[in-house]
Homo-oligomer: A and B are copies of this chain.
Amino acid sequence: MEIKHRIASALLAVLMAALVSGNAAAKDTLPSWNDGPAKKAILEFVAAVTNKNGKDYVAPADRIATFDNDGTLWVEYPMYTQVLFAFDRVKKLAAQHPEWKTQQPFKALLEGDMKTVGASGMKGLMEIVMATHSGMTAAEFENTVSDWLATHKQPKFKRLYTESVYQPQLELLAYLRANGFKTFIVSGGGIAFMRAISQKTYGIPPQQVVGSSIVTKFQIKDGKPVLVRMPKIDFVNDKAGKPVGIYQHIGRRPILAFGNSDSDMQMIEYAMAGKGRRLGLFVHHTDGTREYAYDRKSHVGTLDKALDQADARGWIIVDMKKDWKDVFPAK
């Protein structure tokens, strides 16, 4: 298509969107959300910040929405997908690492002794992550992640991990973007791990993914410039790290932030503390049948303090069982 046609059709699309925006769009936009306080809060918020004549209007450039990933956009229970990836990589790489036969926590992991792996704590987990996430080029790592996620299924739902995503959230992301928002992932997960699938899974391009990172070095390898992933933590984008990650990557304060655990409190607190209308939300995993039920005492995605403080601070608790008509996309 010639450039004039491309521009003309882009203009037409914008005009059409402007013509249909407003009430009609708001009615059918979130079909997997049941009517209730959470859906109402979302629709009212978006209506308010996009109403040019209203007191809560926010210019499109400042319509920044940030979403946690594990437990907010995709399943995190009973264990974070990226940790399962790391465990599996240890098994795949074991032949090249005979020393792991005697070295903990690798020995225990290879023997299936998960109790000992668990007892190795954060230190042990970091050793496993470093052994599986560094020592290769950025491109090699991305391919490994893509291949793994294209072939491994979540055991309870028998779906690929990239299909174990929440349909209501896919609708919400699309709805926000249709209303001029920029949608970002802000997760404790690895930035490069999520970027391998963010566009295809969520329609979120790599540059809108903020996550934890490891030190990376530019090197010339066989005459070609490459980025090599080093066995050293660069930044942990979790808890109080989330507002910092947002500052370093986005440089603007979100007006909407969505999480599911106490680790998201600082992100939501930071978003809500800005001027003007704000929306902060948490997914509460209340559905042991369709997904999982866990909160205060869970080993992943602990939701405890945020539940206690939600009312007083105006945070919306999204009750998965009540608020979501569907949990996963239709197969």
Contact = CB atoms under 8 A, between A and B. Distances in A.
B247 A138 contact: yes
A179 B3 contact: yes
A2 B22 contact: yes
Contacts of A178: 7
Contacts of A15: 7
A206 B244 contact: no
Contact of A224 (B25, B234, B273): B273
A207 B243 contact: no
A179 B269 CA distance: 39
Interface string A20-49: 111001000000000000000000000000
Interface stretch (A148-156, A162-170, A248-256, A317-325): A248-256
Interface string A184-199: 0000000110010001
B205 A61 contact: yes
A8 B21 CA distance: 12
**How many residues of A sit at the interface, in one of the four size bands?**
35 or more
A4 interface: yes
Copies of this subunit: 2
A19 interface: yes
Nearest to A207: B250
Contacts of A206: 250-252
A252 B204 CA distance: 13
Contact of A251 (B1, B207, B240): B207
Contacts of A247: 138, 216, 227
Contact of A217 (B192, B244, B251): B244
A223 to B, nearest CB: 9
A225 interface: yes
B218 A1 contact: no
Closest 10 CB pairs of A and B: A206-B251, A218-B240, A2-B22, A218-B243, A195-B251, A207-B250, A3-B18, A225-B270, A225-B273, A225-B269
22 contacts: A3-B22, A3-B50, A4-B22, A4-B25, A8-B19, A61-B205, A182-B207, A191-B248, A192-B251, A205-B252, A206-B251, A206-B252, A207-B208, A207-B251, A217-B244, A218-B240, A218-B241, A218-B244, A224-B273, A225-B243, A227-B244, A227-B247
